Amino acid sequence: MANRNILVVGGSSGIGFALVEELLAAGDNIYVWSREERGLAALHGVHHYAIDVLTDELPKQDLPEILHGFAYCPGSINLKPFRGLKPEQFREEMEINLIGAVRCLQAVERLFKKADQAAVVLFSTVAVQRGMAFHAGVAAAKGAIEGLTRSLAAEWAPKVRVNALAPSLTDTPLAANLLANDEKRKAMAERHPLQKVATAVEVAKLAKYLLSDDAGFITGQVIGIDGGKSTI
């Protein structure tokens, strides 16, 4: 289907930005909600709205009457020992990873229902299914995303498909501190059976597929893209 309308939240950086580029190349109409425009200014045809989805009123009136796709890309990497995590930090993880997604999805749900078929992509993490030290905060929040994915897939079927991706460490600005030099990058790569770190484009291409009609029989799934880390 050409000329689909797709909203990407957090589309100005990392995986979200790579997804915007992939969808533009496919001929889709792209709308982005993010706090900063960043590299989007150089992309022709992107409709950007500078908003904080946690606190601002969401500009539903500026979207098209029908949305065919939605991706929620904001996330966090705050790795700390459990004993050092305060309840406020767990709430912060929930706010950015879960509550932001909930606010956006509730704001645009009616626009999905006007499409013959629509698709939603959310983001979890490999650390939900594979226990990893110092990941208690983010794993708890992303575990909630996995539950939301399956619940909405059931509630919104058959018109709206809902899936999530569960990446391992990906080379994005969010992970810059973990990949700050060659030694760190090599150590992180060696933690994966494929001996590499994912690129934002690799993850974005899978998200693009899940948003496409080619994935029309896939819903309610949490799909790992983790170099084999979760299963090997």
Phi-psi region of 45 (alpha: psi -120 to 50; beta: other; left: phi over 0): left
* CATH class of the domain comprising 5-225: alpha beta
Kindly provide the b/e burial profile for residues 6-27, where b requires at least 16 CB atoms within 10 angstroms of the residue's own CB. Answer: bbbbbbbbbbbbbbbbbbbebe
DSSP label at 55? Answer: T
- C-beta of residue 101 within 8 angstroms of C-beta of residue 122: yes
Which pLDDT belongs to residue 66? 96
Q: Tell me, what's the pLDDT at 2? A: 56
Which strands form 118-123's sheet, in the order they lie side by side? Answer: 46-50, 29-34, 5-9, 69-72, 118-123, 160-167, 222-225
Please tell me the predicted confidence (pLDDT) of residue 76: 84
Tokens of 134: 């110092």
Alpha carbon distance, N-terminus to C-terminus of the chain: 37
124 near 97, Cβ under 8 Å?
no
| pLDDT digits (tens), the chain, 232 positions | 458 999 999 999 999 999 999 999 999 999 999 999 998 988 998 999 999 999 999 987 789 999 999 999 998 888 889 998 999 999 999 999 999 999 999 999 999 989 999 999 999 999 999 888 989 999 999 999 999 999 999 999 999 999 999 999 898 887 778 788 888 889 888 989 999 999 999 999 999 999 999 999 999 999 999 999 999 8
Q: Cβ(185)–Cβ(197) under 8 Å?
A: yes
Any idea of the CA torsion for 10, 14, 17, 19, to the nearest 10 degrees?
Answer: -100
Q: Where are the domains of the chain?
A: 5-225
